[in-house]
Structure 1
């Protein structure tokens, strides 16, 4: 056979001028086929045919091999390492892995505490075994009709350089009230200053503030300030100023300089669904109850005038309960038809949150009809939540 007069450089230039052929085969298959072809060298093949076949193979594969060989092998490595990661992590927590992989694809970062909370099936509240080193912040947001306040809680990463009030005020602008079916209320048109020595918070408003225009605006403003500070701190007094001058003018309260912070407690939690939304919130009553029995009875009826529905339904009926050293013991009815569904989980969390309002720390269920209720194991004592209605903000 006559030696080719084409140099390597000329062949390469000729191949570059040919039309590009897209090879859609898997890189793994190409690599296998090449390996097999390299091992098989039949001696009986006519040299001319072998040369033609080799030239055709080069034409087909050179563009992919030159431009994509490194990518192909890297892809194989990535597939193998990804498989190894899935195997090792799935045993630990498969739900966390799925969430982590999904967020990695989107280029988003989700902290470990957030992953734990997201995987709790049907949970709405925040529990102390889920937050890691994070800090819980609760905001009290008016409902869409501005009739009541809905507690919305989130978890922020710890920052030792910032006090609780700085974290609280910096995060106000990140709330998504309208997206959650609530009133767009934050950030408040005020500045806040915490004095750790006197255990007070100074709230300074501009002279053109709107918080005193109308009884509803005034009531919501006063109650939200009280609940926000009571839920997130041990502060016992609020000092008001306007443009740095003592006092604030409000329609019903008149001119006031300070206000005592009332602790949040002794309320009953009801179910609330904003109009046109699927979200279900657990919301405390506007009035207080003298004891836990009164609160439980109210929770069976609801408060229709505020759009609050009963949170203890037929799916969670119990005969009696007792309290021993901050421990609530609930004896279930033998005929209870408890089902493992969302409605029952909501009832149980409403009971947990209401019990917390009366100083209860743990709840034990005696003779539960089922052992597992959503994420809860009813055969064990369960701690009350840290806060209601978890929503994650960036």
Structure 2
């Protein structure tokens, strides 16, 4: 390589002739730029460890299922190899029992009072299983109340042809009478959810004289209760049921504060007096609003019956154009023994009658109990059933009639 002909002095002189370079940037700006470049270099250092971590996670995703499959295969092989040994059989049985208990617990938590009915056989099987896990009774009994208040509302069916009594259990409130609770909860009823007609709250102003047990019902001039004979009939049944459940002696009627309501079919009425046919001696039937429920409404038909034997006979036939269906099947035959002195009725099942501990039979017994209550019986004794219990009922003892029919829940 040829040696440079320039001397050090010449080079220094040439450099001195070059223009001066002045950096006008702020020192802080220079520092920040340098810091950014250093940080970028640090991030690059972590690229390989991050990639290694991702690769390790991918391997875990691939290998873990295979490890579990290998474990399951090993367990099955061990079970197959030891299946003939007594200790293995006991262990397997305990395992099966534990699984059954867990399954039963899950069924109990998910059980609901209403479910779709795919067929008659399916419906019957569901009813038989569910009675083991939950109380399938429909009515309100003394032991259900627990110091609370029972409110019963007469609600028309979806076609407004008959009345369905529906009962709710609510907490008592300080300074609120039963009537006041009854009035307050009108607005919280969910009739449509139950498959019934949206009837409440009543289109009227209610004032109750507690001491005299007199209810004053004032309707607006544009009220719809007198538009047809069926509307008047339903209102009559609603008022009768309200009088009965709240122990009301008298109902005074008025329109916009003026005495009387002008009913098209019955003229002007100032004081409501229920018909004798609407008080007591009714038979109870099953009613399924959508024909898809497991738990029925147990409903009285608005027709007075002379004797309880006639009522039971009618309950085998049904009423109301097949909407109120029979509540006593033909294969459940019995005789009745009446004891009016003790208000006790004995149901003695005939020989050859099979009584099962299932939901269907439970509902039949409830219909019998509610009908017995209509005829002023307080207790019913079931004999010759060949079983000790049906649902919640202990057949070794007399069964008290329900407090009210058709218990339902609302948001509280």
TM-score (norm 1): 0.69
State how far apart, in whole Å, the 2-side matches of 1:259 and 1:189 are.
Answer: 17
State how far apart, in whole Å, the 1-side matches of 2:258 and 2:336 are.
Answer: 55
- 3-state DSSP class of the match of 1:213? coil
Q: 2:300 maps to what in 1?
A: 284
Q: 2:270 maps to what in 1?
A: 257
1:261, distance to aligned residue in structure 2 (A): 4.6
Return 183-192 or 255-264, whichever deviates more. Answer: 255-264
Tell me which stretches of 4 or more aligned residues in structure 1 moved more than 6 Å: 18-21
State how far apart, in whole Å, the 2-side matches of 1:385 and 1:293 are.
Answer: 20
State how far apart, in whole Å, the 1-side matches of 2:310 and 2:385 are.
Answer: 23
Which one of the candidate residues 212, 216, 240 is aligned to 1:226?
240
Say whether residues 1:332 and 2:346 are aligned partners: no
Whether contact under 8 Å (1:230, 1:261) holds in the other structure is: no
Which one of the candidate residues 226, 233, 250 is aligned to 1:237?
250
Q: 2:261 maps to what in 1?
A: 248
Gaps in structure 1 of 5+ consecutive residues: 1-13, 24-93, 100-118
State how far apart, in whole Å, the 2-side matches of 1:144 and 1:327 are.
Answer: 36
Say whether residues 1:208 and 2:225 are aligned partners: no
- Superposed, which structure 2 residues align to 1:43-122 within 5 Å? 121-122=135-136
1:277, distance to aligned residue in structure 2 (A): 3.5
Say whether residues 1:302 and 2:318 are aligned partners: yes
Say whether residues 1:173 and 2:187 are aligned partners: yes
Say whether residues 1:349 and 2:366 are aligned partners: yes
Which one of the candidate residues 133, 136, 142 is aligned to 2:147?
133
- Superposed, which structure 2 residues align to 1:313-324 within 5 Å? 313-324=329-340
- 3-state DSSP class of the match of 1:295? helix
How many aligned positions are there? 301
Larger CA Rg, structure 1 vs 2: 2
Whether contact under 8 Å (1:267, 1:289) holds in the other structure is: yes
Q: 2:401 maps to what in 1?
A: 384
Return 310-319 or 327-336, whichever deviates more. Answer: 310-319
Which one of the candidate residues 180, 191, 198 is aligned to 1:184?
198
State how far apart, in whole Å, the 2-side matches of 1:215 and 1:260 are.
Answer: 17
1:216, distance to aligned residue in structure 2 (A): 1.3
State how far apart, in whole Å, the 1-side matches of 2:343 and 2:176 are.
Answer: 33
State how far apart, in whole Å, the 2-side matches of 1:387 and 1:320 are.
Answer: 23
Q: 1:312 maps to what in 2?
A: 328
Q: Which has the higher contact order (CA 8 A, sep 6+)?
A: 2
1:306, distance to aligned residue in structure 2 (A): 5.6
Say whether residues 1:372 and 2:389 are aligned partners: yes
- Superposed, which structure 2 residues align to 1:17-32 within 5 Å? none
State how far apart, in whole Å, the 1-side matches of 2:320 and 2:224 are.
Answer: 30
1:205, distance to aligned residue in structure 2 (A): 0.7
1:198, distance to aligned residue in structure 2 (A): 2.2
- 3-state DSSP class of the match of 2:143? coil
State how far apart, in whole Å, the 2-side matches of 1:252 and 1:373 are.
Answer: 47
Return 310-319 or 154-163, whichever deviates more. Answer: 310-319
Say whether residues 1:274 and 2:318 are aligned partners: no
Whether contact under 8 Å (1:336, 1:369) holds in the other structure is: no
- 3-state DSSP class of the match of 2:316? helix
1:304, distance to aligned residue in structure 2 (A): 4.6
Q: 1:194 maps to what in 2?
A: 208
